[in-house]
Amino acid sequence: MPLAHAFTNRYADELMMLAAATHRPASIVNIGCGYAIRIDFEYQHYLLAVNAEGVLADQPDAAALWRVTLFKESDSAESPDQLIVTAESSWLVDAFDLAFAEVKATGQWPSADLAFGSFNPAVT
């Protein structure tokens, strides 16, 4: 986690945008081969955003495409997390919108009986 603080400073605008869009904290996490932006949701779902080959580039503007991927955490340590959807765009906000439009269209996003505090993206 030695570079997480440096990436947090470099990607402050992107972190703020995702936090505002989701009403959830966004953070920089080490994913083994590099760093990614992560947001945790309810029901063991989470989002990873990267702008290079599976990781964050050293500079936010260096990459051509943003990739937003939604996962569901596995119940066991032996099995990998389930990939739900991946979307790419030249702008982070557009990749985010595309990912949630696809996940809502396929019905793969969990819904709760009580929506207080849960993330329920509106797709228009």
pLDDT tens, position by position, 26-53 = 999 999 889 999 999 988 999 999 998 8
Q: What is the pTM of this model?
A: 0.85
For the stretch 87-124, pLDDT in tens is 999 999 999 999 999 998 888 877 765 454 556 665 54
Question: Would you say residue 17 lies in a domain?
Answer: yes
The angle formed by the CA atoms of residues 24, 109 and 124, to the nearest 5 degrees, is 80
Strand locations in the chain (E): 26-30, 35-40, 45-50, 66-72, 82-89
d(CA 119, CA 69): 16
d(CA 92, CA 65): 8
How many structural domains is the chain composed of?
1
Per the CB < 8 A criterion, the answer to whether 69 and 96 are in contact is no
Question: Would you say residue 114 lies in a domain?
Answer: no
Question: Would you say residue 120 lies in a domain?
Answer: no
Domain span at residue 12 reads 4-105
